[in-house]
């Protein structure tokens, strides 16, 4: 009986370990701040990254015909120009918190494949 539990346990752990290994390998995304990304410069080109920040005032250019959204993500004094192709998400406005996911290119523009607005399900007003 004991042996059976042992064998079962080993199979289970092996299966879970395999799943973890497979799943972790393909889905890790690195988080950086805007200034960290700019410091990294060319080391950061062409790798999947997430960058969090705020949408810069007056930076939003929305081309509805081409479904192209250009804006800048700021954090402190650092600013990162972003291009995203797709629909403009809800709540997209200057000053909103945003996470952009995609790749940084040698032309110093971040091409986002995905943009996540902070879902304000727990809405807190900006506190002065």
83 or 97, CB closer to another protein?
A: 97
User: Which residue matches tokens 């930076």?
Assistant: 59
C-beta of 33: minimal distance to another protein in Å?
8
Backbone angles phi, psi at 21, to 5 degrees: -60, -45
For residue 54, list its beta bridge partners: 74, 97
Q: Rounded to whole angstroms, how far apart are CA atoms 94 and 54? A: 8
What are the Cα distances from residue 121, in Å, to 94, 103, 125? 19, 28, 12
Site for another protein, rule CB under 8 A: 1, 4, 12, 16, 19-20, 22-24, 26-32, 50, 52, 62, 64-65, 67, 86-93, 96-97, 99, 101, 116, 118-125
41 or 89, CB closer to another protein?
A: 89
105 or 120, CB closer to another protein?
A: 120
């Amino acid at each position: 009986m004991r042996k059976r539990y042992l064998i079962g346990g080993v199979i289970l752990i092996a299966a879970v370990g395999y799943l973890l290994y497979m799943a972790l390998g393909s889905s890790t995304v690195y988080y950086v701040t805007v200034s960290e990304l700019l410091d990294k410069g060319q080391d950061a080109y062409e790798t999947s990254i997430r960058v969090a920040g705020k949408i810069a005032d007056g930076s939003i250019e929305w081309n509805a015909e081409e479904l192209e959204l250009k804006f800048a993500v700021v954090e402190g004094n650092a600013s990162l120009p972003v291009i995203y192709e797709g629909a403009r998400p809800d709540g997209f406005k200057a000053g909103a918190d945003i996470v952009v996911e995609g790749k940084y290119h040698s032309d110093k523009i971040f091409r986002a494949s995905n943009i996540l607005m902070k879902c304000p399900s727990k809405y807190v007003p900006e506190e002065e």
